[in-house]
Amino acid sequence: MPQLLTLSRAARLVGASRVALQLKIRSGELPSFDGMVAADDLLRLYPDIKLEEDGGFEQVREIKERAFGRRVRERLLPSQEILSQRLYEQGLELADLRAHLQRYHAMMEAVRSRIREQETQPGMAALGAYLDDSLAEVLGAAEPPNALSVMDDMLRVMSAHVTLRPSGHDFFVEGADTLLEAALKAGLAVNYGCSNGNCGLCKVRVVSGEVKKVRPHDYVLSEAEKSQGHALLCAHAAVGDLVLEALETGSAGDIPQQQIVARIKALEPLGEDVRLLHLQTPRNNRLRFLAGQSATLAAGETSAQLPIASCPCDDRNLHFHVERDAKDDFSRQVFGALRAGDPVTVFGPWGDFVLRADSPRPILFVASEAGFAPVKGLIEHAMSLDRAELLHLYWHAARPAGHYLVNLCRAWADALDNFRYTTMAGGCAEDIAARMAHDHADLAAFDVYLAGPEVFVDATAKALAQQGFPADRLSVTAT
Ligand code: FES
């Protein structure tokens, strides 16, 4: 019976993306069995996997050899209680396996002595010799350990794999993360509210596996809920692999409007005419939103609606890209009076410029000037989900300074096989649509997300339609 692995686990073991493995399955290089892949097939495709080169092993070696700071230990390892429980579970598995082997050994001994007793019977001597030879071969073989199997065992100690029902989405829980933190980092839009154990909105049912309370919570689970296996994502961590029944957000409309007073953590220049406004919410009152949405910010007498440029996976730290505009009061504040520590009230989130849920299609992003902000959120979300075969960003700006985070885009392109970046310096909407059609002959097979000034998005949408791009695959936001 081959050892079967989920695609997520297999991707982590060989250090590839899930998308890369999916492509290999599609091309027939990697057989799959009901969405799982066999460890032997993986080893055949990635024969160079060595334990000592694996990142996880490197981490373990460092943990062994260095006095790690508390923060680093927390990032890498679960709490001592969970770690010891996982080791205990593995110890049980090992003991069971050992007992199994001992029973097989005893059975073989009994068979061997039976054969010896009847060696005078025809064929029995040959059968005895065959058994002796086979046993000598099996017991004498000094095979190196199966690298994938060892790594998989270690991965189970370091992290837990969680599958959500009914969606089938999955993620890993690492370090001291709660289930909620881990799900958000994986780009999943699970249902939640306060993030700190008060509202009960993150309640899930544990179908299989064991969870452990790691944060106190005021929300009271009834006895009936407890007996049915309910738990709070924001207050529990995974002891081992889990299957959870959980509500996930289907659309932007499912997210309630919120009002939060945040503080400015930093104000930093991004090029000549754009500033990064970094807000931090209180620990116990974070903004729940989907990547690509906007929020209204109010500081003093001024306010503005701006796209959120950061990822919902870090819902305490909100980033906004503010363009210099002498006619806009809020922009003048950001480039003038506002300082780190000042309060800013955040209302929202707004808008439905979000990734299409579970779309299997590759994605093209088109941003003009600071229309890059919501697109950045979408790209980071798509990267966390690791589902799209290709992500291609076209960033249009009238001047070179308009590509104010060009290094980030280049870093993404360097780091990820499935990310491409094209700078569009000047040019009109027709030029961009023509370039996209030239790069992608199968343009209609993509989802397209388009963000920028209203005139730009209207013209580009029209130019894409002229290229035959279907309107229902186009998502647009004017910034
Ligand atoms: S999010 Fe409110 S209790 Fe978990």
Q: How far is the CA of 218 from the centre of ligand 1 (A)?
A: 9
SS3 for 369-418 is: HHHHHHHHHHHHHHHHHCCCCCEEEEEEECCHHHCCCHHHHHHHHHHCCC
Domain ends where: 307, 322, 350?
Answer: 350
Provide the pLDDT for residue 47.
Answer: 78
**Four-CA torsion 358, 364, 369, 370, nearest 10 degrees:** 10
Residue 290 and residue 346 in one domain: yes
Whose CA is closest to 33, among 61, 59, 2, 55? 2
Q: What is the CATH number of the domain that holds 333?
A: 2.40.30.10
Top pLDDT among 144 and 336 is at: 336
Q: How far is the CA of 85 from the centre of ligand 1 (A)?
A: 25
Q: What is the CATH number of the domain that holds 382?
A: 3.40.50.80
Q: How far is the CA of 314 from the centre of ligand 1 (A)?
A: 16
Compute the average pLDDT of residues 391-395.
97
194 CA closest ligand 1 atom index: 2
* AA letter at 15: G
Provide the pLDDT for residue 408.
Answer: 94
Top pLDDT among 177 and 40 is at: 177
Residue 391 and residue 345 in one domain: no
Q: Which residues line ligand 1 (CB under 6 A)?
A: 192-195, 197-202, 219, 232, 234
Q: Evaluate if residue 64 carries a pLDDT over 90.
A: no
* AA letter at 190: V
> What's the Rg (C-alpha) of the chain?
28
Pocket test for ligand 1, best of 184, 190, 196, 284 (most atoms within 8 A of CB): 196
Q: How far is the CA of 476 from the centre of ligand 1 (A)?
A: 32
The residue written with tokens 């690791």 in the block is 386
Q: How far is the CA of 78 from the centre of ligand 1 (A)?
A: 21
Provide the pLDDT for residue 59.
Answer: 52
117 domain residue, yes or no: no
Residue 368 and residue 472 in one domain: yes
Q: How far is the CA of 232 from the centre of ligand 1 (A)?
A: 7
Any idea which of 62-71, 122-131, 224-233, 357-366 has the lowest mean pLDDT? 62-71
- Domain range spanning residue 232? 154-251
403 domain residue, yes or no: yes
Provide the pLDDT for residue 52.
Answer: 47
Q: How far is the CA of 306 from the centre of ligand 1 (A)?
A: 27
80 domain residue, yes or no: no
Counting residues of the chain whose pLDDT is more than 70, the rounded percentage is 93
203 CA closest ligand 1 atom index: 4
Domain ends where: 251, 282, 297?
Answer: 251
90 domain residue, yes or no: no
pLDDT digits (tens, 9 = 90+) for 224-269: 999 999 999 999 999 999 999 999 987 888 899 999 999 999 999 9
CA of 389: how far to CAs of 61, 168, 214, 353, 446, in Å?
A: 34, 19, 36, 21, 10
Residue 174 and residue 246 in one domain: yes
235 CA closest ligand 1 atom index: 4
Q: How far is the CA of 29 from the centre of ligand 1 (A)?
A: 44
Top pLDDT among 93 and 152 is at: 93
Q: What is the CATH number of the domain that holds 181?
A: 3.10.20.30
CA 446, 449, 454: angle at the middle one, nearest 5? Answer: 140
Residue 336 and residue 374 in one domain: no
Domain count, the chain: 4
Counting residues of the chain whose pLDDT is more than 90, the rounded percentage is 54
Provide the pLDDT for residue 90.
Answer: 83
Residue 307 and residue 378 in one domain: no
Compute the average pLDDT of residues 161-184.
93
Cα–Cα distance for residue pair 90/99, rounded to 1 Å: 14
Q: What is the DSSP letter of 273?
A: S
Residue 247 and residue 279 in one domain: no
54 domain residue, yes or no: no
Provide the pLDDT for residue 145.
Answer: 67
pLDDT, the chain, mean: 88
Residue 318 banded pLDDT, cuts 50, 70, 90 = very high
Q: How far is the CA of 196 from the centre of ligand 1 (A)?
A: 5
Token duo for residue 393: 């960003």
Residue 313 and residue 399 in one domain: no
Compute the average pLDDT of residues 384-399.
91
Residue 406 banded pLDDT, cuts 50, 70, 90 = very high
Provide the pLDDT for residue 66.
Answer: 52
Residue 338 and residue 264 in one domain: yes
Provide the pLDDT for residue 74.
Answer: 55
Residue 375 and residue 470 in one domain: yes
**Four-CA torsion 254, 260, 265, 268, nearest 10 degrees:** 60
Pocket test for ligand 1, best of 181, 230, 232 (most atoms within 8 A of CB): 232
99 domain residue, yes or no: no
Tell me the helix, strand and coil percentages in the chain, rounded to 5.
40, 25, 35
67 domain residue, yes or no: no
pLDDT digits (tens, 9 = 90+) for 445-469: 999 999 999 999 999 999 999 988 9
Residue 368 and residue 313 in one domain: no
217 CA closest ligand 1 atom index: 3
Top pLDDT among 157 and 373 is at: 373
Domain ends where: 251, 270, 297?
Answer: 251
Provide the pLDDT for residue 197.
Answer: 92
Give the global pTM.
0.81
pLDDT digits (tens, 9 = 90+) for 69-115: 555 555 667 888 888 888 888 888 888 989 998 898 889 889 888 88
Residue 343 banded pLDDT, cuts 50, 70, 90 = very high
> Within 228-336, where are the H helices?
329-334
Pocket test for ligand 1, best of 181, 199, 215, 220 (most atoms within 8 A of CB): 199
36 domain residue, yes or no: yes
Residue 377 and residue 470 in one domain: yes
Pocket test for ligand 1, best of 202, 283, 285 (most atoms within 8 A of CB): 202
Any idea which of 38-52, 174-188, 302-316 has the lowest mean pLDDT? 38-52
200 CA closest ligand 1 atom index: 3
Q: How far is the CA of 177 from the centre of ligand 1 (A)?
A: 15
Cis peptide upstream of residue 256 (ω within 30 degrees of 0): no
Pocket test for ligand 1, best of 179, 201, 225, 284 (most atoms within 8 A of CB): 201
Provide the pLDDT for residue 23.
Answer: 84
Compute the average pLDDT of residues 383-401.
90
